[in-house]
Structure 1
Amino acid sequence: MLPVTRYAFLVSPSHNRVYAQAAPALAVAEMAVLAERAFEGRLRDVGTTTLGGLPYVTFTLDDAARPDTAGTDLALLSALSSAYALFVVDGDGDDATLRPVTRAAVDLFDSDLLTVQKYAGKTNEDFTRLLVNVTVAATDRPRDLAGPWTTRPDGARRRLRVLDPMAGRGTTLNQALVRGWDAAGVDVDQKDVEAYATFLRTWLKNHRLKHTAGLSTVRRDGRSLGRRFEATVGATADEYRAGDTIAVELVNADTVRAADLFPAGHFDAIVTDAPYGVQHGNRASGTRGAGGRSTPHDELTRSPVPLLTKALPGWVRLLRRGGAVGISWNVRVAPRAALEDVLRDAGLEVLGDVRDDAAPDPWHGFEHRVDQAIQRDLVVARKPR
């Protein structure tokens, strides 16, 4: 009989009080996705409990000590968005004790890469990490979450590649960078692209990391498609000198033209936080109602559905077969069924599709309140192989 270990992790405190209230339930939903996708049924009994007045998520894991799985298992648990401290639980009930577990070092860079940026409308970095995690877990290589590398069909190793086609000021790009993944983004707002370029160059210099960074113009058929910020960075000086670098780029362009900016099948995961329709509206051209160029004939709407309908075919072209798309949005401006229909129409398979015979869980446990006007949820879909 395989050994079974019971674990508990302390849920990360959040500076956002509303998100802190939702965090335990979101952590359980994230764990349920990983249990299904990355642990192949070996992780079970996911739930919450209060110990010493603090919220913990508890679960059991079969065969955690096997040498061929233990390192990857620990890295997967260490990568969870809300795991603050991990423990083995010894005993039961009032006699239970918590034995600390040293987490795997899955992040290559300091956490201030994720937290130091402050601006109105920034998505909570813990939620962005959750969205990235469940999207990568939905791919045909879910255990890639454990490290920076993925293996190509020919056996060669390369870094995981993540695209945010509505990147704003780069919250998703930073989440990918801190994990050692190549990251790319598109955003129509030139000020956001310039702000991100300034931030990342300053951060790299302040941390004395070997890197290159610069802005250039993207051209095709003699026409300018927008400005492109590109950076390459080494986690260490030796890795940089050896050419073992992480690539980050952000292009100032309309997201509906994303397929013109990158090679087809280039990305493993596409992750984006759709505009919530509160501060900004959306146009099918890809332009948000404020801060960017507009197309006069595009009707301004609070719903992201018209924009996604036009943009998703291009995004899907950039996604490798077996890759996944994860989108978060405000359910107050668009029902879940509408986003699922758009994803299906683009040729993707929706995970947890309630129209299938399979039970919809665990993909329907992420809806939560952000503020009075925003009730956020996420949907994930996979490109067939």
Structure 2
Amino acid sequence: MTRCLVLLSPSANHVYVGQSPQLSAAELALTCPAIGPIEPTSLAGVEYLALETADLDDATLAGISGASATMACFALEGDLLRPVELPRVDLLDDDLVTIPKYQGKTNEQFTRLLLNVTVAALRGGPAARRDAGERLAVLDPMCGRGTTLATCWLAGHNAYGVDDDVRALEAMAAHLSTWLRRKRLKHSAGSSKFRRDGRTLGKRFDAEVRLPGLAPLTLAALPGDTRDSAELWGRKTFDAIVTDAPYGIVHGAHTESGPHRSPASLLAEAIPVWAGQLRRGGALGLSWNTHGLAREDLLAMMAEAGLVPQDGPEWSHFSHRVDSSIQRDLAVALRPVDAG
């Protein structure tokens, strides 16, 4: 067995930094099953994740490298640390995600963590496509200014979004278009009027980046209500749906009766819609504020929508404090492979 220490990346959010070892350990336990016991440890005052693995093969190294907070990896040999070269797994530079700064933006590391554990849970056809290196189709039905969509691009997935905030979509389109030009990547990007039922809902944004020797990465974002996501996308379905639900503090949830501090009403209406957009074996990954909705109630919503919530000890370590009014957790549910 090889014993390794993983050095975690710093985060601009000091509250998240203090909880990052626990979250990263839970993430690696789900995304890298070949790795043995994983636990936070301190060496000379520096925080690491200690782990054991039978073989530092390419798949294990790629799993460690792709984890949300990994900065470096060392093999522990007696009292010495030997640097272990990690492969580059991101297809694009991470400043695509880190450059935008705005109130209410989800921490980039947590966005990557949520995406990682959701994709790792895929079953059946979606998992086979991922293992074969094919692009997965990932939807964020409340995409805002596109942190999740950009993170999907870094990880090599095609990204799709819906949001009712037209200004947020415009800001995302401006950032992505400018970033692609400055990086001098072969690409296409542009906005066009998006109409449904004779009404113009706003502008649809589409982008594609073409990297040497690889299939193109595509991204599309539509204006509209998340509860209308299936109608907006028509027959298109997705391998995974990944979203950070409104916390009811900075981002209020909206229903027909107006804004609510709790996202519970919105999620009760939206989850059945999202479930219908998943391909067989697909996964829904959702983060939310537990002060507004208990975990057991959210899992019940997922089950009522025909999904299979993933629950158990390995899923119980993701709850963490964001601030005094937000205790964030995540949940993942699968559409059964034999679903109708």
TM-score scaled by structure 1?
A: 0.83
The equivalences for 1:243-254 within 5 A come to: 244-254=215-225
The one-letter code matched in structure 2 to 1:211 is H
Instruction: Kindly indicate whether residue 7 of structure 2 is the aligned counterpart of residue 10 of structure 1.
Output: yes
Counterpart of 1:77 (choices 64, 67, 76) is 64
Are residues 144 and 116 of structure 1, via their aligned partners in 2, closer, same or farther at CA, if it must alter by over 3 Å? Answer: farther
Q: 1:344 — aligned with what?
A: 303
Q: Deviations over 1:115-138 (max 9, x none)?
A: 100101111000000000011111
Task: Supply the distance in 2 between the matched residues of 1:270 and 1:161 (Cα, whole angstroms).
Answer: 9
Kindly state the Cα deviation for residue 269 of structure 1 after the two structures are TM-superposed.
1.1
Matched, 1:267 2:247: no
Selected match of 2:84 from 86, 101, 115:
101
Q: Is 1:368 paired with 2:333?
A: no
Between structures 1 and 2, the one with greater strand share: 2
Q: Distance in 1 between matches of 2:98 and 2:71?
A: 15
Could you tell me which amino acid in structure 1 is paired with residue 226 of structure 2? T
Residue ranges of structure 2 left out of the alignment (5+ in a row): none
- Matched position secondary structure for 1:333: coil
Secondary structure of 2:211's partner? coil
Q: What is the deviation of 1:219?
A: 3.5
Deviations 1:89-138 (A, max 9, x none): 223xxxx3211111111111111111100101111000000000011111
Task: Spell out the pairing of 1:214-225 with structure 2 (5 A cutoff).
Answer: 214-220=190-196, 222-225=198-201
The CA deviation string for residues 328-369 of structure 1, in whole angstroms up to 9 with x for no partner, is 1111111111211111111111101xxxxxxx2110101111
Give the aligned residue type for 1:5.
T
SS of residue in 2 equivalent to 1:338: helix
Distance in structure 1 (CA, Å) of the matches to 2:187 and 2:127? 25
Aligned residue runs from structure 1 range 188-203, under 5 A: 188-203=164-179
Structure-2 separation of matches of 1:102 and 1:120: 36
* 1:24 aligned onto 2:53: no
Per the alignment, residue 290 of structure 1 pairs with: none
Aligned to 1:49: 41
> Could you say what secondary structure the match of 1:229 adopts?
strand
Q: What do the CA deviations read for 1:303-328 (whole angstroms, capped 9, x no partner)?
A: 21211111122211211111111111
C-alpha displacement at 1:213, in angstroms? 0.8
How many pairs does the alignment contain? 337
Structure 1 residue 144: deviation in Å? 6.1
**Which runs of structure 2 are paired with 1:318-333 in the superposition (5 Å)?**
318-333=277-292
In the alignment, the residues of structure 2 paired with residue 141 and residue 45 of structure 1 have an alpha-carbon distance, to the nearest angstrom, of 27
Residues 213 and 229 of structure 1 are in contact (CA less than 8 Å); yes or no, is this contact kept in structure 2? Answer: yes
- Distance in 2 (CA, whole Å) between partners of 1:223 and 1:119 is 30
Superposed CA offset, 1:144-175 (max 9, x none): 69xxx626xxx8x6311111000010000010
Residue aligning to 2:130: 150
- Amino acid in the other structure paired with 2:219: V
Distance 1:204 1:144, change over 3 A: farther
Question: Which residue does 2:211 correspond to in 1?
Answer: 235
Residue in structure 2 matching 1:206, options 150, 175, 182: 182
After superposition, the CA RMSD in angstroms is 2.1
* Distance in structure 2 (CA, Å) of the matches to 1:273 and 1:218: 24
Tell whether the 8 Å contact from 1:265 to 1:317 is kept in structure 2 after alignment.
Answer: no
Change (3 A) 1:44 1:141: farther
Per-residue deviation, residues 269-309 of structure 1 (Å, max 9, x unmatched): 1110001111232123xxxxxxxxxx4xx243222121111
What's the TM-score, normalizing by structure 2? Answer: 0.93
Give the distance between the partners of 1:364 and 1:87, measured in 2 at CA.
28
Q: Is the 8 A contact 1:136 1:142 kept in 2?
A: no
Conserved? CA contact 1:234–1:246, under 8 Å: yes
> Match of 1:277?
248
CA distance in 2, matches of 1:310, 1:202: 36
Report the counterpart of residue 288 of structure 1 in structure 2.
none
SS of residue in 2 equivalent to 1:15? coil
**For 1:250 and 1:143, how far apart are their aligned partners in 2?**
22
- Structure 1 position 81, deviation (Å): 0.4
Q: Which amino acid in structure 1 is aligned with residue 67 of structure 2?
A: L
Distance (Å, rounded) in 1 between the aligned partners of 2:314 and 2:76 = 24
Larger Rg: 1
Q: Is 1:381 matched with 2:333? A: yes
Aligned counterparts of 1:264 and 1:347: Cα–Cα separation in 2: 19
Gaps of 5+ in 1: 285-294, 353-359
Q: Sort the Cα spacing of 1:60 and 1:141 in 2 relative to 1 into closer, same or farther, 3 A.
A: farther
